[in-house]
Structure 1
Amino acid sequence: MPAQDMMNFDLSLYLVLDPYLCRRYSMAKTTVAAIKGGASVVQLRDKTVGTAGLVDTGRALKTAMAGSGVPLIVNNDLEAALALNADGLHVGQGDMDAYEARQRLGASKILGLSVEDEAAVRAVDPAVVDYVGVGPVFATSTKPDHKSPIGLDGLARLVSMSPVPTVAIGGLKAAHISALKAGGAAGMAVVSAVCGQLDPQEATQRLVQAWASAPGN
């Protein structure tokens, strides 16, 4: 794994922002509330705007997150991640090549990669990628173009093969936490379970507490 300042980042409650679901409070206010509730990573994902729009939103997020110690990851836009000096980048299988992304990001940044099947997990190079997002575990409306759900058994199988820490993603709720931890996941990525909730801080806190109290890794 690359040497970096944020090497010990915590994947347990990985918040993926959604501009539509966050419209009640804005992405920045949702992020502040989620961090107060215990979110350990925040990913900026907005496919409705270009790089300039992501940078504008990212600047507001960086201001809101200042001093929290929570890393800001940009989804699938290397130029925005570089312009923001974000803590990291997350790419999918059909996005930028992980090796190219690492070369341009440098060793000090976090690089995540989505994996959906055994071939993708086998191809993960732990000298390049810091963590993988495994899923979708269940179908989710927040990413309608996702691959077929792999289920909890599929998650456990891919987690067991991964050479790097894993975060589960795809339609996850508090009720799934025990199974996710039993399957070896280092954390869960959530969208609608926090974004768009009437009280994002409370919603996050419930998930964090449930994760902490569940048996497992």
Structure 2
Amino acid sequence: MRQSADFSLYLVTDSSRCTMMPLEETVAAAVRGGVTMVQLREKTMETRTFVEVARQLRALLSPLEIPLIINDRVDIALAVRADGVHVGQTDMRVQDVRALIGGEAIVGITVETPDQIEEANALDIDYIGISPVFSTPSIPRNVKPWQIPGIEKARSMTNLPIVGFEGITTANAADVIAAGADGVAVVSAICGALSPKDAAEELRSAAFV
């Protein structure tokens, strides 16, 4: 799986933003529209529910050979035999994640500064999530967005696959890819769409023109 992972259209879930249909139906529709990887990120979900949802998504995605990544929770990833784990700068250290989840799992880390890219280059990871690419209302004011020049700088600093996180839309996805990213990650652009399938198709078409 680590050799064949496709990061091009990376869906990050947020059940609170899935206003048009339930989470599993949203993911299923988005996959039909071209999503290539799914990260289950549910910060407020109770653990038992989180496991149940993760198991449902694993059953949906595994036959399609689309990786299921669990945000932060290595225990849940292990419980449902997910394909990998994504961690942030304040989550479990990558070395500990890798020791627990094994050498074949996909492991990614969020980076917010160039210094963190240099640190990531020395880690046993499969991709880096550049965040935030653009400013959004959910981003604290003291966090500086990378913007397009930042993506270009990041590309010059690493050979790892790069996924752009935050503020990605059909209007800017192509610019993010052109700057050197291997993929774009979206939440509300798909989760909150009237048709997650159509939204995924539009994002994919816009990003890879």
Q: Which runs of 5+ in 2 are unaligned?
A: none
Q: Matched residues in 2 for 1:46 and 1:102: separation? A: 21
Partner amino acid, structure 1, of 2:111: V
Corresponding position of 1:26: 22
TM-score by length of 1: 0.90
Residues 145 and 86 from structure 1, CA distance in 2 versus in 1: closer, same or farther, beyond 3 angstroms?
farther
Residues 146 and 44 from structure 1, CA distance in 2 versus in 1: closer, same or farther, beyond 3 angstroms?
farther
Q: Matched residues in 1 for 2:72 and 2:142: separation? A: 15
Q: Matched residues in 2 for 1:40 and 1:9: separation? A: 8
Is the 1:51–1:77 Cα contact (8 Å) retained in structure 2?
A: no
* Offset of residue 155 of structure 1: 2.0
Matching of residue 118 in structure 1 with residue 95 in structure 2:
no
Is the 1:193–1:203 Cα contact (8 Å) retained in structure 2?
A: yes
**Deviates further, 177-186 or 106-115:** 177-186
Describe how 1:93-172 pairs up with structure 2 within 5 A: 93-125=89-121, 128-141=124-137, 147-172=143-168
Corresponding position of 2:40: 44
Q: Matched residues in 1 for 2:114 and 2:85: separation? A: 22
TM-score by length of 2: 0.94
Matching of residue 91 in structure 1 with residue 87 in structure 2:
yes
* Offset of residue 106 of structure 1: 0.4
Q: Matched residues in 2 for 1:112 and 1:145: separation? A: 25
Aligned residues: 209
Is the 2:121–2:158 Cα contact (8 Å) retained in structure 1?
A: no
Q: Which runs of 5+ in 1 are unaligned?
A: none
* Offset of residue 92 of structure 1: 0.3
Cα displacement string for residues 18-39 of structure 1 (whole angstroms, at most 9, x for unaligned residues) = 1111143111101100000010
* Offset of residue 146 of structure 1: 8.6
Is the 1:142–1:191 Cα contact (8 Å) retained in structure 2?
A: no
2:5 corresponds, among 2, 9, 19, to 9
* Offset of residue 201 of structure 1: 0.2
Q: Matched residues in 2 for 1:122 and 1:193: separation? A: 30
Is the 2:132–2:139 Cα contact (8 Å) retained in structure 1?
A: no
SS of residue paired to 1:124:
helix
Describe how 1:174-185 pairs up with structure 2 within 5 A: 174-185=170-181
Cα displacement string for residues 18-64 of structure 1 (whole angstroms, at most 9, x for unaligned residues) = 11111431111011000000100000000112432221110111222
Identical aligned pairs, as a percentage?
37
Corresponding position of 1:190: 186
**Deviates further, 95-104 or 173-182:** 173-182
Residues 142 and 82 from structure 1, CA distance in 2 versus in 1: closer, same or farther, beyond 3 angstroms?
farther
Q: Matched residues in 2 for 1:176 and 1:169: separation? A: 12
* Offset of residue 145 of structure 1: 8.9
1:79 corresponds, among 71, 75, 97, to 75
Is the 2:28–2:60 Cα contact (8 Å) retained in structure 1?
A: yes
Partner amino acid, structure 2, of 1:152: I
Q: Matched residues in 1 for 2:140 and 2:52: separation? A: 25
